[in-house]
Amino acid sequence: MKTIFSIFVIMATTLTSIAFAQSACDIETKKAKAISDRCSQTYTSNQVKYNKCLEKYKVPSLLKQIKSAQTKCSQKTQSQIAKATDDYTKCQEASNYIKCAQEYQSQATKAKSDYAECPGASSQTKCLQEHQARLMQIQATSGLAKCMEEYKSQLAQGVKTAVNDYTKCTGAAQAIYAEATSDYTKCLEDSGYNRCQQEYQAQTNKSTSDYAKCLEDSGYNKCQQEYQARLTQDRECSEEYKALSEKVTSGQTKCQQEQESQVQQVKIDTKAQTKCMQEYITQKAKADKICPSPVHISELEKRGDVYFMKNKPYSGKVNCSDCYPCGYSCDANMKDGKFHGKLLEGDEEGYSLIGNYIDGKKQGEWKWSHDDYFYGNESSGVEYYKDGKEHGEWKSFYGSGELKSIERYNNGKKHGESKGFYINGNLQSVTNYKNGKLHGEMKTFDYDGKLIKTINYIDDVEQKQ
């Protein structure tokens, strides 16, 4: 009887300990969940604060107005260029510059014809042939080869007068070479070749001069000067646009001044996300010491897209980190061997990811942030999935809250217009997709918003202009 009572006491004590442990587990787990929920809320604080600042100084509405004004100004400029081009074309036609070109071409043709008929124009070939033949004869009979052999021999023997002796030996030949060159020049002169060349050059110079004078007298040059002046002159936009620009600049300056005091807070908010994740990791570790540890994913056997434990599809909590513990946490749930429910990732370096699975597939909204404050690369984003595929509008933000990119997906493929932005808010790129392929215009802009390049695509193939 005493033994039975002892067993009962031990069982009761054990059950009480288990119940107490389970209660403590639930308490610590709830604390971890509360921190997790707070992390999710902290994510949106940066964007909210920045948007409030913009709204306070009516920056969004002002930017829309100035964009409209810029469009009007651009259209006005294009209209001015079109009118200047049209006036230039009419001015050209009135100047009759074509007649000048025709006269120039006629004079050039006559100069070539006169040169071809000029006596002696073709005599250069004959003079050159005679000159080359004489040079070959001089080389064969002048003894230059013998002079070179004697010179090399004297050098080898160390004769001090070798250079002088070589100069004397070749002196007569050099004189003969000079005489041959002089005869060649005289041949060109006597044959009339030089005279033909001079007359042709004179005619060419005169036709060029006459053409330039014709363009000047006809008014063509004036057309050119006026057109260039109109293209390069300052094109003032309307007074309304100028006033609006000043107002926008004033509003942006005020907002920037206020942001100077808020930038630090924005950074603190970004770091708050990191701090929140660190708190979660600490609290989760505390709960794990009390609660039964979740199964690590490496303990499960994957068959296809289903995870098994002891030949049964696993259901329950799972730790999905690549390394554990290592300052990185990845907690999720599985149902019937597939990820199901919330997934929360994070590390001590500022990375966090929050999203949901349904039956092994990503579903709905996924949020991420990366606070690499050491390198100043804070960023965040929101993504959307449908049945495991990218679907809907994806956005990413700079650490200070400015929009960085917008991408649109349809059933796992990029579809529609995607945009990239510089941190100053100006467009960086606009790209169009159709069923995952480049289709339509792709534009790139510089930091000031000026269009750099436009390329057209059809089904991923660049279309040549």
More confident of the two residues 61 and 98: 98
Residue 140, sorted as left (phi over 0), alpha (psi -120 to 50) or beta, turns out to be: alpha
pLDDT at 373 over 70: no
CB 353 within 8 A of CB 365: no
pLDDT at 7 over 70: no
pLDDT at 280 over 70: yes
pLDDT at 283 over 60: yes
Tell me how many degrees the CA angle 121-124-129 measures, rounded to the nearest 5.
150
Per-residue pLDDT band for 295 (boundaries 50, 70, 90) equals confident
pLDDT at 264 over 60: no
More confident of the two residues 428 and 400: 428
Return the minimum-mean-pLDDT range out of 64-73, 219-228, 315-324.
64-73
- Give pLDDT, residue 406: 94
- Give pLDDT, residue 409: 96
Q: How far apart are CA 397 and CA 47, in angstroms?
A: 8
- Give pLDDT, residue 69: 64
More confident of the two residues 102 and 29: 102
Mean pLDDT confidence for 204-221 = 86
More confident of the two residues 347 and 237: 347
Mean pLDDT of the chain: 77
pLDDT digits (tens, 9 = 90+) for 377-410: 578 899 999 999 999 999 998 877 788 999 999 9
Return the minimum-mean-pLDDT range out of 380-384, 427-431, 445-449.
445-449
pLDDT at 160 over 90: no
More confident of the two residues 93 and 312: 312
Q: How far apart are CA 438 and CA 461, in angstroms?
A: 8
Mean pLDDT confidence for 151-164 = 83
pLDDT at 370 over 60: yes
- Give pLDDT, residue 79: 67
Q: What is the 3-state secondary structure (H, E, C) of 287-347?
A: HHHHCCCCEEHHHCEEECCEEEECCEECCEEEECCCCCCCCEEEEEEEECCEECEEEEEEE
Q: How far apart are CA 88 and CA 307, in angstroms?
A: 76
Residue 318, sorted as left (phi over 0), alpha (psi -120 to 50) or beta, turns out to be: beta
Q: How far apart are CA 368 and CA 344, in angstroms?
A: 10
Return the minimum-mean-pLDDT range out of 174-178, 419-423, 428-432.
174-178
C-alpha distances (whole Å) from 434 to each of 34, 414, 440 are 42, 7, 8
pLDDT at 267 over 70: no
CB 432 within 8 A of CB 409: no
pLDDT at 323 over 60: no
Per-residue pLDDT band for 19 (boundaries 50, 70, 90) equals very low
Residue given tokens 């999905």 in the structure block: 320
Per-residue pLDDT band for 123 (boundaries 50, 70, 90) equals confident
Return the minimum-mean-pLDDT range out of 17-21, 150-154, 169-173, 431-435.
17-21
pLDDT digits (tens, 9 = 90+) for 36-80: 777 766 544 545 555 666 676 666 676 666 666 666 666 566 667
Q: How many CB atoms lie within 10 A of CB 33?
A: 16
CB 142 within 8 A of CB 176: yes
pTM: 0.42
- Give pLDDT, residue 311: 92
Q: Which residues contact 57 (CB under 8 A, 6 or more apart)?
A: 251, 252, 254, 255, 258
Per-residue pLDDT band for 289 (boundaries 50, 70, 90) equals confident
Tell me how many degrees the CA angle 334-338-343 measures, rounded to the nearest 5.
55
- Give pLDDT, residue 248: 65
CB 297 within 8 A of CB 319: yes
- Give pLDDT, residue 86: 80
- Give pLDDT, residue 414: 94
pLDDT at 257 over 70: no
Q: How far apart are CA 66 and CA 240, in angstroms?
A: 10
Q: How far apart are CA 348 and CA 305, in angstroms?
A: 30
pLDDT at 145 over 80: no
* CA dihedral over 20, 26, 27, 29, signed as positive or negative: positive
Q: How many CB atoms lie within 10 A of CB 222?
A: 13
What domains can be seen in the chain, in order of their start residue? Answer: 71-232 (no CATH), 265-463 (3.90.930)
Mean pLDDT confidence for 134-138 = 81
Q: How far apart are CA 371 and CA 39, in angstroms?
A: 14
Residue given tokens 């049945």 in the structure block: 387
Q: How far apart are CA 302 and CA 320, in angstroms?
A: 13
Per-residue pLDDT band for 171 (boundaries 50, 70, 90) equals confident
Query: Euclidean distance between the first and final Cα of the chain, in Å?
Result: 101
Mean pLDDT confidence for 417-422 = 92
C-alpha 110: how far from its chain's center? 55
Return the minimum-mean-pLDDT range out of 209-223, 250-264, 295-309.
250-264
- Give pLDDT, residue 13: 40
